[in-house]
Amino acid sequence: MRTLKVETGRPYNIIIENGVLENCGEYIKKVSKAMRVAVISDTNVFPIYGDKIVDSLTKSGYQVCSFTFDAGEKSKNLITVSKIYDFLAENHITRIDLIVALGGGVTGDMAGFAAATYLRGIDFVQIPTSLLAQVDSSVGGKTGVDIGAGKNLVGSFWQPVLVLIDSNTLKTLPQYYFEDGMAEVIKYGCIKDKALFEKLENENAAECIDHIIYNCVAIKRDVVSHDEREKGERALLNFGHTIGHALEKIGGFTNLSHGQAVAIGMCMITKASEKANLTEKGSAKRIEKLCKKYNLPTYSDISKSEIAKAASSDKKTNGSSIKLALLKEIGESYLEKTEISELEKFISK
């Protein structure tokens, strides 16, 4: 077992251990005095792990109820959250009680947002089952949903009281989902860890996944502890995401997965920054090659003008400008303030 502590306004632990799901109730009991637990999951994950989670929680003395929604980004909206609110009320979930988010990034984001806003905030635990959620979205307290204008435009910073990561869950996932999560892993190598990037180049990630998960979580832990509400350094975690979110929006959140969109975004923004002499030459080719190694796309035929227009409503905009996360070189990143009106010109270089 490996434990990382996140030093935010409300500190919490991230526990990484194979088989932790079977004993989740014991770990949760140490951080929560809840009487009732509402497990929020989707139609893909709950049939696999739901009984195991409910059984462990029940054995630990909790009254447990469960809510499932249709799997996929298309469900990550206020309509689903409203249904979660009704479910919580019907099951008499109170301020001392708890939500457990069991699933991937969509589940964690949405269950976390419900926890942040129901009764003006109740505790929740993240049990991420996808690679993307384990290395990225389950840590740091960003919660939210999509609306027509864009991805994650409605949300809240609401830290979990505990994160339980079990890499055994990755064995039940289709290869597609593993590859999707690898985009976020590659991102961490790009922005903060050259050695991780080189490890991904030279080895098979699946064969050293526990090491990779720990490295990525440790990086995010450090960044979030320094900048909980994204006033500075945390924005570096958005590398590839400005373009990625725009591509997801253009595709109606169905054409590309989050990881696929981020992979394209990393490649496009690095090509542009290289041409502007802001990034070490050859970086974009290395990122493209690594993305291809893990079957991630590197290019979109959507026009740069359409991408720039979609990105203009991104949550990272500030007045007439946006902060772009760029690379000096592989492993070292920085923020570049860019006028929204200049974004199309920049990415068209």
Instruction: Please give the positions annotated as active site.
Output: 120, 142, 184, 220, 230, 234, 238, 241, 245, 258
| CB count in 10 Å sphere of residue 336 | 15
Residue 171 CA to residue 129 CA, distance in Å, equals 10
Residue 171 CA to residue 234 CA, distance in Å, equals 30
